[in-house]
Structure 1
């Protein structure tokens, strides 16, 4: 088995996320999606990978088994970014549909942030207490993780 901490991942328009060995530079695993993979993020412990796709779906992958543990239709337009909370219990996805969604690792919704414009990126602060979204209109909004601005 490959140590997860020694991996890099790439997203691709061919509907695949690929895991690469940093030691050898070779592809060690291919994760299949039904749509273009637009973004991805490793969990802080390196045991899971979350992928977002052009159809608005998010997949949660168990990297130890190589299997997809959840497929969630989160957004109505492409997923533009994914980011994990520092402690790893939740992640945020952003989308062209003008929302950012905070979810737990089972895929259950914690909070929906309505930005009003396509969201290019969403990221947690280092302490996990706030979240920033960057929108198409060049506005950055800072949110309490509970959902208020």
Structure 2
């Protein structure tokens, strides 16, 4: 699920290849994003949707699916704008960069891919995880990416160089959520081991465990 940037709309993905939009204040259903199919798999996912995110301007939604595809949806017209193909296994997580020009996807193939939002062109592939990539997050400045994996580690990436910066270890199970603080000086990771770790990026150490 995801909130729109203005907080007025909630998007939910799941079964039947559809994205549902809901009014966050009234709880009423607003819209279903499911364009008609002319060729099987051409416009919509051919499997359940398991990850979604709004663009910074709230006009576009990105979705990832177990079928290995990523789709961009126009909220206003409920149409599929661009399809991203490249992952060989299910797409577990997606996110927009702060400027909206780049989309990141993490897959069951252990790869992280960065895409041009406008064209769907693959810009960069990051290798470092040994198992599924479960969560991704851009830093507020958009130049750093954090990714959490099935193996329980968090990786930090320099997107200006495409190089791996550091591996953070502390969880004993998969990392299913990562998020940066607004100033970009810390990030938090959540795991299936029932712990939340807060990391200070200056000394690169864990600050808290709950």
- State TM-score, norm by structure 1: 0.91
What's the CA shift for 1:4? 8.2
Distance in structure 1 (CA, Å) of the matches to 2:162 and 2:5: 32
Q: Is 1:126 aligned to 2:140, yes or no? A: yes
List per-residue Cα deviations over 1:32-88 (Å, max 9, x = no partner). 332110100000010100010011101101112211111222311111111111111
The aligned counterpart of 1:141 is 155
- State TM-score, norm by structure 2: 0.66
Asked if the contact 2:5–2:56 (Cα under 8 Å) also holds between the matched residues in 1, the reply is: no
Aligned-partner SS, 1:80: strand
Distance in structure 1 (CA, Å) of the matches to 2:5 and 2:116: 21
The aligned counterpart of 1:110 is 123
Provide runs of 4+ in structure 1 moved above 3 Å. Answer: none
Aligned-partner SS, 2:15: coil
Structure with bigger strand share is 1
What's the CA shift for 1:117? 2.0
What's the CA shift for 1:138? 1.0
The aligned counterpart of 1:87 is 99
State how 1:5-84 maps to structure 2 within 5 Å: 5=6, 6-32=8-34, 33-84=45-96
- Gaps (5+ residues) in structure 1? none
List per-residue Cα deviations over 1:72-106 (Å, max 9, x = no partner). 22311111111111111111110111001111112
* Larger RCO: 1 or 2 (CA < 8 Å, sep 6+): 1
What RMSD, in angstroms, separates the aligned Cα atoms of the two structures? 1.6
Distance in structure 2 (CA, Å) of the matches to 1:4 and 1:129: 20
Larger Rg: 2
Task: State the number of aligned residues.
Answer: 147
